[in-house]
Chain A
Amino acid sequence: QLQLQESGPGLVKPSETLSLTCTVSGGSISTNNYYWGWIRQPPGRGLEWIGRIYSTGGTSYNPSLKSRVTISVDTSKSQFSLKLSSVTAADTAVYYCARQYYHDNYPSYFDPWGQGTLVTVSS
């Protein structure tokens, strides 16, 4: 059974860079028809898609965050990572990683999700 697990610092100072890693187990990160993505949820609020990466390195980002986001992948470690620069308190959220199924001309969906990790931006 595929599992995803986020890891990284729970506290980041304003103006610094948030860095998280998602480790994939129970399956291959290089399987066809899957992207690997990040989604966040500020406390008590809704869900926001951050971006995604394919195992070969192709990326897509939310335009609202694009100037500050980098997602990368390390297939040898079955990991993909998120970097968000110049953070502010508005970036405080639970950050989830998720697998995104896709196929040409068919709706994609996120499944499964990691358990999430809370990142607080504060000095």
Chain B
Amino acid sequence: DIQMTQSPSSLSASVGDRVIITCRASQSISNYLNWNQQKPGKAPKLLIYAASNLQSGVPSRFSGSGSGTDFTLTISSLQPEDFTTYYCQQSFSAPYTFGQGTKLEIK
């Protein structure tokens, strides 16, 4: 199985800050990397697919980059509704695996 490791596991930031969350794969996965947002008690929601493509309806303050083994999710200017948990997920090969999550908290 391909292991996905996110860092940091938690992050404190303020409204308006720019934050970067990283995700590293245990082997090269090209651009087969998706980012999901999960709010408490809710299902995950797709934000970014194929490493850098913004899903329809997702605000443009979210962006993704990377290829191979190293990827980033950037939120350019944090809004109050962005303080929640984010997961990366690889679709290079089954079994599809997720990172352990990054919890974004208000400072």
Residues of A within 8 A of B (CB): 46-49, 60, 62-64, 96, 106-116
Residues of B within 8 A of A (CB): 30-34, 36, 42-46, 49-51, 55, 87, 89, 91-92, 94-101
Let me know if A47 and B87 touch, CB within 8 A.
yes
Chain A residues whose CB sits within 8 angstroms of the CB of B46 once the complex forms:
109-112
Given A46-B101, A107-B31, A107-B51, check contact A113 B45 (CB 8 Å). yes
Let me know if B33 and A49 touch, CB within 8 A.
no
Let me know if B43 and A107 touch, CB within 8 A.
no
Given A47-B44, A47-B89, check contact A107 B32 (CB 8 Å). yes
Q: Report Cα–Cα, A6/B94, bound state, in Å.
A: 23
Given A47-B87, A47-B89, A106-B50, check contact A111 B55 (CB 8 Å). yes
